[in-house]
C-alpha cells in the first residue's frame, strides 16, 4: 500500500497527552511513523489508513483533533459532498473526500454518510456543475472499472465504495491514472446504486455503469498539504479551529436526529 503523511492539530497540554496519543497510534496496523510536537500542538502520521480512522483513534484518547494538511510535498485537493459546500439529494448524504498525488498514483481518501447499506458508484464528472456534462473522460473512452486498462475506462471512473449498516462508507483508493492537477474545479459524485463497470446489459452500462441517481456531489478544490495551513482563527467569523470543530459536530448530530425522526 502507498502511504502518505497527514497533519493534525491536537489539543495537548503535557507530555502525558503526547504519550497517550503516540501509544494509541502505534498500535494501529497501517501506521508507519508518528511525529508529535507538544509545543506546536501537531501530530504528523505516516499512514496507509483513511484520515478519518486516524482522527478517530486520536480522539479516542479524549483529545480534540482537526486535520490541517494532507500529503507531504504533494498536490492535494478536497471535495465536500452535501452540506453548505456541495449538493445532496434530500439533504441526507454528506461527506469529505481528499485527493493527493503521490509517486505511485493518486490516493482518494474519504468518508461519506447517509447512504443505504451496500455498494455505491463514485465518479469524477467533467464539470463542477453536474447538471452539465458526464464523467471526466479526456481520452474519449468507454466507461469501465478502476482495474480496467486506461483505454477501457474513463479517468473519472473510481469504482464503488461500500457503506456499512449505519450508512457510512469509509475508503482509501489508489488510482494509477488520476492526477490532482487535472481534476481541480471538477465535481465528485456518489450514486444511488453500484457501478457495473460497463459489464452490464443496460444501455447505460457503457456510459455511467448504470449506477442510478446522483445522490450527492461536491466541487473538487485545492487543499493544504503538510505545514501549509497556519490557520488558528477563521477571519470570517472569528471562530477558532476548536470552535469550528465543535460547531460541525453539533450540526451533524442535529442533522442525524432529523433524518432518524423523518
How much is the pLDDT for 240?
A: 41
Examine domains 4-73+224-257 and 76-222 and report if their fold is the same.
no
For residue 21, how far is the Cα from the chain centroid?
Answer: 23
Digitized pLDDT (tens) for each residue of the chain, 262 residues in all: 789 999 999 999 999 999 999 999 998 999 999 999 999 999 999 999 999 999 999 999 999 999 988 987 668 899 999 877 777 877 789 999 999 988 889 999 999 999 999 999 999 999 987 777 799 999 999 999 999 999 999 999 999 999 999 999 999 999 999 999 999 999 999 999 999 999 999 999 999 999 999 999 999 999 865 545 544 444 444 434 444 445 554 455 555 554 455 4
User: So where are the chain's domains?
Assistant: 4-73+224-257, 76-222
How much is the pLDDT for 243?
A: 47
How much is the pLDDT for 227?
A: 47
Pick the CATH number of 76-222 from 1.20.140.10, 3.40.50.970, 3.40.50.1820, 2.60.40.200: 2.60.40.200
How much is the pLDDT for 225?
A: 56
How much is the pLDDT for 224?
A: 65
How much is the pLDDT for 259?
A: 43
How much is the pLDDT for 184?
A: 94
How much is the pLDDT for 86?
A: 75
Q: Has this prediction a pTM greater than 0.85?
A: no
Q: How far apart are CA 111 and CA 98, in angstroms?
A: 9
Q: Which CATH architecture has domain 4-73+224-257?
A: 2-Layer Sandwich (3.30)
Amino acid at each position: 500500500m502507498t502511504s502518505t503523511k497527514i497533519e493534525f492539530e491536537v489539543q495537548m497540554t503535557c507530555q502525558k497527552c503526547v504519550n497517550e496519543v503516540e501509544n494509541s497510534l502505534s498500535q494501529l496496523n497501517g501506521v508507519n511513523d508518528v511525529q508529535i510536537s507538544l509545543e506546536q500542538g501537531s501530530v504528523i502520521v505516516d499512514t496507509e489508513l483513511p484520515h478519518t480512522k486516524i482522527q478517530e483513534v486520536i480522539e479516542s484518547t479524549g483529545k480534540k483533533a482537526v486535520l490541517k494538511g494532507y500529503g507531504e510535498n504533494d498536490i492535494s485537493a478536497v471535495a465536500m459532498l452535501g452540506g453548505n459546500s456541495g449538493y445532496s439529494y434530500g439533504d441526507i448524504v454528506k461527506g469529505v473526500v481528499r485527493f493527493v498525488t503521490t509517486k505511485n498514483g493518486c490516493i482518494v481518501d474519504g468518508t461519506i454518510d447517509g447512504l443505504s447499506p451496500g455498494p455505491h458508484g463514485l465518479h469524477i464528472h467533467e464539470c463542477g456543475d453536474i447538471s452539465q456534462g458526464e464523467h471526466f473522460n479526456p481520452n474519449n473512452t468507454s466507461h469501465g472499472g478502476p482495474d480496467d486498462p486506461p483505454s477501457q475506462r474513463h479517468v473519472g471512473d473510481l469504482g464503488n465504495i461500500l457503506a456499512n449498516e449505519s450508512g457510512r462508507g469509509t475508503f482509501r483508493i489508489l488510482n494509477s491514472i488520476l492526477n490532482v492537477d487535472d481534476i481541480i474545479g471538477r465535481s465528485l459524485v456518489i450514486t444511488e446504486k453500484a457501478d457495473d463497470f460497463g459489464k452490464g446489459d443496460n444501455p447505460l452500462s457503457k456510459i455511467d455503469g448504470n449506477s442510478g441517481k446522483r445522490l450527492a456531489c461536491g466541487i473538487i478544490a485545492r487543499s493544504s498539504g503538510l505545514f501549509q495551513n497556519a490557520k488558528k482563527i477563521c477571519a470570517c467569523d472569528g471562530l477558532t479551529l476548536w470552535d469550528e470543530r465543535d460547531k460541525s459536530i453539533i450540526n451533524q448530530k442535529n442533522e442525524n436526529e432529523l433524518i432518524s425522526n423523518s
